Amino acid sequence: MTQTEESELRDTIEQYRNARLTRRDFVQRAAVLGISASVAASILAACGGGGGGGGTTTGEEGQPVQGGVLRMGYDRAFQKLDNVVGPWADEPFTAIYEVPIIRDPGGKFVSSVAEAWEFSSDGLTLSMKIREGLKFHSGAPLTAANVAEDFNIFRTTGVTANFWAPVKNVEEGENNSVVLTLSKTNYGLIETISTLFQSIHNEASRKAAGEGWGATTVDATGPFTLKTFKPASEVVVERWPDYPGSGVPFVTNKGPAYLDSIRWVPILEPANRANEIETGSVDIVKSPAAQDISRLQSNDDLVVLELQELSNYFITIDRTRGALGQPGVAQAMSHAIDRQALVDTVFFGHAVPTYGPIFPAYRWYDPGVEAYNEYDPDKARDLLKSAGLSELRFTLLTQNQPIQVQVLEAVGGMLREVGITMEVKAVEDAAFFPDMFAGKPDAFMFKWLWESPTDNMRFFGRVPSWDYNGNPPKSMAGIDAWESAATEEQLEKACRQVQLAWAEELPFIPLVTQSLVWVHHKRVHNFRPTQTSIYPLFNDVWIEA
Amino acid sequence: MIRFVLSRGIRAALIFVVASVAVCYGLRVAPGSLADIVTNPLNRAFAVKDLEERLGLDEPVIVQYFVFVRNIMGGDFGVSFISNRSVTEIIATGGLNTLKLGGAAAILTYFISVPLGIMAAARRNSVIDQGSMLIAVLGMAIPNFFLAILLVRLFAVELRWLPAAGQGGIKHLILPAVVLAAEAIAINLRLVRASVLEQLSRDYIRTLRAKGASERRVVWIHAFRNALPPVITFGGVMLRTLLGYTLVVEVIFRYPGLGFELVDSVLKRDYAVAQALALVFIAGVVLFNFLADLGHHLAEPRIRERGAAG
Amino acid sequence: MVTPTTGRDLATVGGPGRGPLLEISHLSVRLRMRSGPITVVDDVSLEIGSGEILGLVGESGCGKSMTALAIMRLLPEAAEIAGGSVLLDGEDLVRTKPERMRQIRGAEVAMVFQEPMTSLDPAFTVGHQVVEAVRAHEKVSRAVSLRRAEESFERVGIPKPRERFDAYPHQLSGGLCQRVMLAMALVTSPRLLIADEPTTALDVTIQAQILELIKQLRTELNLSVLWISHDFGVVSEIADRVAVMYAGEIVEIGETSHMLGAPRHRYTRALIDSIPGRGEPRSLLRTIPGQVPDPGARPAGCRFSPRCDAPVSECELIHPELRAERDASSFRCHNPVA
Ligand SMILES: Nc1ncnc2c1ncn2[C@@H]1O[C@H](COP(=O)(O)OP(=O)(O)OP(=O)(O)O)[C@@H](O)[C@H]1O
Ligand SMILES: [Mg+2]
């Protein structure tokens, strides 16, 4: 961001605060200033403004105090905190682990364990310089050799090993660096390297811990160490007094963490989350029930932060099935859907419509997508007519979860308006996934949730075993471009290309992106979730005694 | 008496064997698999394959069953693949918590429903009777999760008298115990009332009154004593139901008992934990049935007589 | 020892202490039914002298038990005393306070019931139940009440009382249970015993023993007894006087021997005729044709008229009044047996 950009932005922020611009207005105005929606969103988060409500500010003022226990209500049951083969990365990951590279609030890749990185001019070699003087919780020093060892584990046995496919070789380089050799240009590898499943750990400790890794033992580099792991009831981490300090530029506390410990408890029932923060049995909760949000916003003791979740609800139709494959059918469906109405009714306003494959807060979001899929039932009818269809009928498979079912009820009604009959079959996950992966249904709805939105397009856009989507040419060309981008500029270009192509061809039909809502008590300070990571960092967080 | 205990013991053992097969088999062939815990499609394949290998889930179910039985016989319930805690430890800590909660709920149930039920029966159609029947109707009609939300809003959020969730002292037990007990109170209230009422219409009650026994004695000692067998028999059913409800209530109140652990382990396909906890629950059910039988046996002199004779 | 009071004129009854032990006047009992109230005991007047055994006889459903329960104020919930008085030694039981009534029950008026097996609490030992009867009225130690119970058991002819104490009712025979009931009734030395068909459920030999026992106790304890039965034969063996009840009202009352020899009411005669081994030899067991009318559907005139073997014209229209005879017996009939 340049100096001028920053000052103009400041003004807009002022306006937002004083004149109470709505969030949407703010983001739009910021976009006019050439500021990406993600930056705007993270600023909004910092302002503590959520969806035009609350308007309270996170107390940045005041001197941080050392000590205290932060009690976090988590919206899921915990899985093992295993960075290599763990099935899910839960919140404590960002307290006990550090990733090599991290996205800043604006989405830019910045240093963490790696202090610098560079692609060779041909784009086939990536060297990463590892910070000096780092060590693991166990006291063992951390060098480039450890990182190289970890990378080799990640690309062979890690859960995201398939994204490492372009990497031919990883070895320790000179000067505390790691050198990755690629078989083809793939700047997007940075996306992968900055996800939580590439968190750096001490492989020797992991080997020794065996099954206990992530449960009884974690030996990594984050500012907290694992104390208790009782996944059904609590996960507790404690300050690591010997933490050498964060290498992340947007973390201001360069020493050990302020908090003595953080205790997570799972609050699985959405209706209970608001209750628990209101009664003070936790200091922070995530994802309260939508109907509770406005009540929480009007509570003077609480701060409600609202971000766009790194997710998207979408519908995919199988274009190999008769009428569903007619040109224009997906577009007709898309035009028939009033996304804003979905946002207002199903999500109580705590969501945004998505007209392209990525949510608007993404740094490379291209607003051009919005022109493609506007709500226009007449156009939908015309499209169906020119496809030679007087009526269209299909069955859609979905997970049997309340939100999913509600979204589809609304969508079903909208489609009926233009003469499309969608029968919804809601099943348990156990039945959903096998059928979906086997390509059994005419259509399905799913919500992806992942730090790298483009990965989802790569995954859901073309999985060879599915005959879905008919490989729409422009979209697939965009993905090819993404996968072979050699520089960040090329990556951004590919990203915009793929978004526009996607919005036009609709390999899947995007619907809405839900808000990610965090609520914290005012005595918690510097709690700053960003729009670009799924979890916040905890080193700056402090709590009033 | 010994014969009674022995025959029930053998029956319980049989139920247990069948249950162990059902649990082991059921968990594995039930729709769904380890894949369900890996909700992120991007990393499914790897994680699942890896987990299955490590947990021996690639073996045939029969083999898995015998490994399971052999381990149990050796007192080894295994280790949670999620938390790496020994299942024995999970059962011990969770069991103690559930025992506290269940105990509190049972105490609440009886201390409310028995006196109220007797009073309602003794003063039929009085305000007490109508009030207690209202409680009974509400207790049966309101689903416990809904009651939980109502109570939490009122007592935790609005009045701030009690914590909304979690584990700690007696205060943390009150709301979950009330929610857990609500239906049992309702059913038991009706049962006590109906049973006492039935006894009050018996001939011997007239005899008691004819000999000048006080009304209090007639109702609270004689009618109640005779009204007990169905209440005790139902007690077993009730404890069993309470045990089942802990699954819901513990999750809602984030109370780390066996129910919470069981739900969690089943959702995560943590087979070792889920199997062992399911067996603990079955053992609980068998035990409560046995206690109900035994209670009925001891409460009813005529049955006791027959049991001793044949 | 008091001689059985016989042939006393209702009009000559004096004040408290000098009059009969129990004096029932114009007692009515009503049942609250959904269709409206029904009178099941209709203007009944009776008296029982000290040491007297009064038999109350009538077919099933005629209101005998209701009368007895009204005296005890133990009517079922649906029933209520609609009028009249029950004077026990001058004290009106109909109007006395509940707590006082409780004190009277058992202590002054005791009652035994028809079904000995179900009339004892199945959950307590018989010893306990008898002791309880003592302690309901007297603050005595457990030991004393046990001794009293033991004596009472012996009195009613239960051998080895202590060994029976720990038995539960279901472990005893019907006869033994009825003796326990009697022991329980008598343990507090009441002045009046109401026996509502206490022998009906028992076999003939046991029945005879019990009857013998009652007679003996009457003499020993100067006990007054209201003996209820539907069997005139049984009543005739034990009662000094007999009151015959039909459809809620007394139809004839008089001295037993008198009545046996010369019944006036045709219903009484029919009852006597149906005593096994009596009446005309050719019809050893004559039953009365027809049925007792439902309390809700009683004939307007004589309630017995539809079943009567010699009705006259008034019978259907005019409800006969109770007519007192010179010998202090009375009956309710337009066409009495000569
Ligand atoms: N609880 C009750 N509810 C309704 N009707 C009743 C009830 N108890 C008695 N009755 C009726 O009251 C009338 C008198 O009954 P009661 O028991 O006094 O007759 P009883 O002469 O004692 O007959 P039994 O020889 O069968 O004992 C009968 O018609 C009977 O049907
Ligand atoms: Mg009777």
Render pLDDT for B103-128 as a digit per residue (tens, 0 to 9): 999 999 999 999 999 999 999 889 99
Instruction: Quote the pLDDT of residue B32.
Output: 56
The token pair at C221 is: 């304890």
**Interface contact B41, partner A, CB < 8 A:** yes
Instruction: Quote the pLDDT of residue A36.
Output: 53
**Interface contact B297, partner C, CB < 8 A:** no
Residue C79 CA to ligand 2 center (angstroms) comes to: 14
**Interface contact A466, partner B, CB < 8 A:** no
* CA–CA separation, A167 and A126 (whole Å): 10
Record: contact C110-B213, CB cut-off 8 A = no
Give the torsion through C-alpha atoms of A378, A383, A387, A392, to 10 deg. -60
* CA–CA separation, A256 and A540 (whole Å): 9
Ligand 1 and C164: CB distance under 6 A:
no
Out of A154-158, A529-533, B231-235, C225-229, pick the least confident. B231-235
Asked if A306 contacts A516 with a C-beta cutoff of 8 angstroms, the reply is: yes
End-to-end CA distance of chain B: 10
Contacts of A450 in chain B (CB under 8 A): 40, 42
Asked if C60 contacts C233 with a C-beta cutoff of 8 angstroms, the reply is: no
* CA–CA separation, C320 and C332 (whole Å): 5
pLDDT band at A20 (very low <50, low <70, confident <90, very high): very low
Instruction: Quote the pLDDT of residue A291.
Output: 85
**Interface contact C319, partner B, CB < 8 A:** no
pLDDT band at C10 (very low <50, low <70, confident <90, very high): very low
Instruction: Quote the pLDDT of residue A401.
Output: 82
pLDDT band at A22 (very low <50, low <70, confident <90, very high): low
- The mean pLDDT value of chain B amounts to 83
Instruction: Quote the pLDDT of residue A109.
Output: 93
Rounded to whole angstroms, what are the CA distances from C279 to A401, B233, C269, C272?
89, 57, 9, 7
Pocket of ligand 1, candidates C33, C65, C114, C245: which has the most ligand atoms within 8 Å of its Cβ, to mutate? C65
Asked if A493 contacts A484 with a C-beta cutoff of 8 angstroms, the reply is: no
Please tell me whether residue C256 adopts helix, strand or coil conformation.
helix
Mean pLDDT value across residues C256-278 = 87
Question: How many other CB atoms are there within 10 angstroms of residue B271's CB atom?
Answer: 23
Where is A228: in which H helix or E strand?
strand A224-230
Three-state SS for A175-193 is: CCEEEEEECCCCCCHHHHH
Instruction: Quote the pLDDT of residue A543.
Output: 95
Judge whether residue A470 has pLDDT over 90: no
Residue C69 CA to ligand 1 center (angstroms) comes to: 11
Judge whether residue A220 has pLDDT over 90: yes
pLDDT band at B37 (very low <50, low <70, confident <90, very high): low
Give the tens place of pLDDT for each residue, A244-302: 999 999 999 999 999 999 999 988 888 889 988 998 889 999 999 988 999 999 999 99
Instruction: Quote the pLDDT of residue A381.
Output: 94
Please tell me whether residue C223 adopts helix, strand or coil conformation.
coil
With 0-12 CB in 10 A as exposed, 13-18 as middle and 19+ as buried, what is A502?
Answer: buried
pTM of the model: 0.72
Best mutation target, B204, B217, B222, B300, to test chain C (most C CBs within 10 A): B204
Q: A73, A431, A127: which is closest to A262 by C-alpha?
A: A73
Q: Give the nearest partner residue to B252 out of A86, A272, A429, using CB atoms.
A: A272
Judge whether residue A28 has pLDDT over 60: no
Best mutation target, B126, B195, B207, to test chain C (most C CBs within 10 A): B207
Judge whether residue A474 has pLDDT over 90: no
* Residues whose CB is less than 8 angstroms from the CB of residue A502 and which lie 6 or more positions away in sequence, other chains included: A356, A357, A369, A457, A461, A475, A478, A510
Chain B neighbours, 3+ Cβ pairs < 8 A: A, C
Record: contact B164-A279, CB cut-off 8 A = yes
ipTM, two decimals, is 0.86
Asked if B179 contacts B148 with a C-beta cutoff of 8 angstroms, the reply is: yes
Best mutation target, C71, C108, C115, C121, to test chain B (most B CBs within 10 A): C121
Domain limits, chain B: 96-272
Backbone angles phi, psi at A247, to 5 degrees: -95, 5
DSSP structure string for A77-132: ------TTT-S---TTHHHH---SEEE-TTS-EEESSEEEEEE-TTS-EEEEEEPT
Judge whether residue C164 has pLDDT over 50: yes
The residue in chain C having the minimum alpha-carbon distance to the alpha carbon of residue B224 is C123
Mean pLDDT value across residues B182-208 = 92
Ligand 1 atom closest to residue C59's alpha carbon, by position in its atom list: 25
**Interface contact B216, partner C, CB < 8 A:** no
**Interface contact C93, partner B, CB < 8 A:** no
Ligand 1 atom closest to residue C68's alpha carbon, by position in its atom list: 18
* CA–CA separation, A534 and A302 (whole Å): 21
Which sign, positive or negative, has the C-alpha torsion A221, A223, A228, A232?
A: negative
Give the tens place of pLDDT for each residue, C285-312: 567 788 888 888 888 899 999 888 888 9
- The mean pLDDT value of chain C amounts to 87
Instruction: Quote the pLDDT of residue A155.
Output: 92
Q: Where are the alpha helices (DSSP H) in C187-338?
A: 204-221, 232-238, 256-261, 266-273
Contacts of A399 in chain B (CB under 8 A): none
Out of A496-500, B22-26, C72-76, C311-315, pick the least confident. B22-26
Touching chains A and B? (3+ Cβ pairs < 8 A): yes
Mean pLDDT value across residues A416-423 = 94
Out of A531-545, C3-17, C48-62, C88-102, pick the least confident. C3-17
Asked if A125 contacts A139 with a C-beta cutoff of 8 angstroms, the reply is: no
Judge whether residue B189 has pLDDT over 90: yes
Asked if A448 contacts A312 with a C-beta cutoff of 8 angstroms, the reply is: yes
Instruction: Quote the pLDDT of residue A31.
Output: 54
Contacts of C126 in chain B (CB under 8 A): none
Mean pLDDT value across residues A325-352 = 92
Instruction: Quote the pLDDT of residue A456.
Output: 74
Q: Which residues of B25-54 are buried (b: 16+ CB within 10 A; e: fewer)?
A: eebbeeebbbbbbbbbbbbbebbbebbeee
Superfamily designation of domain B96-272: MetI-like (1.10.3720.10)
Judge whether residue B269 has pLDDT over 70: yes
* CA–CA separation, A377 and A380 (whole Å): 5
- The mean pLDDT value of chain A amounts to 86
Asked if A70 contacts A536 with a C-beta cutoff of 8 angstroms, the reply is: no
Judge whether residue A16 has pLDDT over 60: no
Asked if C271 contacts C62 with a C-beta cutoff of 8 angstroms, the reply is: no
DSSP structure string for C257-296: HHHHHS--SHHHHHHHHTSTT-S-TT-TTPPPSS-PPPGG
Instruction: Quote the pLDDT of residue C290.
Output: 82
Give the torsion through C-alpha atoms of C68, C71, C72, C78, to 10 deg. 80
Asked if B95 contacts B280 with a C-beta cutoff of 8 angstroms, the reply is: yes
Backbone angles phi, psi at B193, to 5 degrees: -60, -50
Asked if A80 contacts A178 with a C-beta cutoff of 8 angstroms, the reply is: no
* CA–CA separation, A187 and A486 (whole Å): 5
Q: Which residues of A109-145 are buried (b: 16+ CB within 10 A; e: fewer)?
A: bbbbbbbebebeeebbebbbbbbeebbbbeeeebbbe
What is the percent of chain A where pLDDT is above 90?
A: 60
Q: Give the nearest partner residue to A275 out of B157, B251, B261, using CB atoms.
A: B157
* CA–CA separation, C250 and C259 (whole Å): 14
Ligand 1 and C63: CB distance under 6 A:
yes
Atom 3 of ligand 1: nearest residue by CA position: C78
With 0-12 CB in 10 A as exposed, 13-18 as middle and 19+ as buried, what is B95?
Answer: middle
Amino acid of residue A186: N
Give the tens place of pLDDT for each residue, A87-121: 788 999 999 999 999 999 988 999 999 999 999 99
